[in-house]
Amino acid sequence: MLFLTEARVRELLPMAKAIELVESGFRHQAAGQARNQPRRRLQLGSSATLHSMEAVDLTVGFLGAKVYSTHPQTGAHFLVLLYASDGRPLAVIQANALGQIRTGAATGVATRLLARQQAVVGLIGAGFQARTQLEAVALVRRLREVRVYSRTEAGRSRFAAEMSPVAGVEITPVDSPEKAIRGCDIAITATTAREPVLLGEWLDEGVHINAVGSNHSRRRELDAARRWRARRWWLWTRSSEVTVFKSNGLALEDPAVAGYVIRRPPGLVSSEIGEGDTLVRLT
């Protein structure tokens, strides 16, 4: 059984490949070849919460579970457990990076299917998830302009400086969510907001929204007006429609990318294991 560190995952999982793998996982689920178990939470009083989500993909022959804890002071800590189709444990993977990459990849899939070919991007949020959101969108669309808003000037300026080479265009920090969103073709929200940060009245026709920051009933990034404007989102052939990808994070995304990580490079042996990785022999 293999234990892989965050650094190893970043080395082995490029975003372009992750987009391909996540899309395959979605197709397998649509064809009835993959099954997804919704997220469950177990809270310890008012402090730590344990979260778990599981999936099986019959096509690639992997069973996977992501287990993670969250705490107001210590943050979030993710692990992915990967098993073979015969039940043998294959790997334990540190999964902060893996989750960040596969969440961005899911947005890449949605953007490739729903958004305009050339795009102005408005991004609300400049933290952990925002980086791979923009990275994935930049791989599937030609970006003409990117604007970013976050709560602190330092945060959005740092994001703009670090991510401009990734986006392929200069990123402009702005001082309000509205300035980020008005006139954009692709809107991305990657926040922990409990109240809406994106209002429907800011949206032009044909905007595609990737809302990725909230997977909890007590958090809401988008307002009700947005939902009504996107009420006919399934008519993808109409260029004037507002489309929405609400990313809650599906368990099947994890084995889709984790299976690739443990098989690359093929025939991984102990001499190829990175610093901190461990190969455990089970008897």
Q: Which residues are catalytic?
A: 66
Lateral strand order in the sheet of 2-4: 34-43, 49-57, 62-71, 75-84, 89-94, 2-4, 278-279
Contact 126, 148 (CB under 8 A): yes
Q: Which of 107, 94, 24, 14 lies closest to 59, judged by CA?
A: 24
Residue owning tokens 């990849």: 105
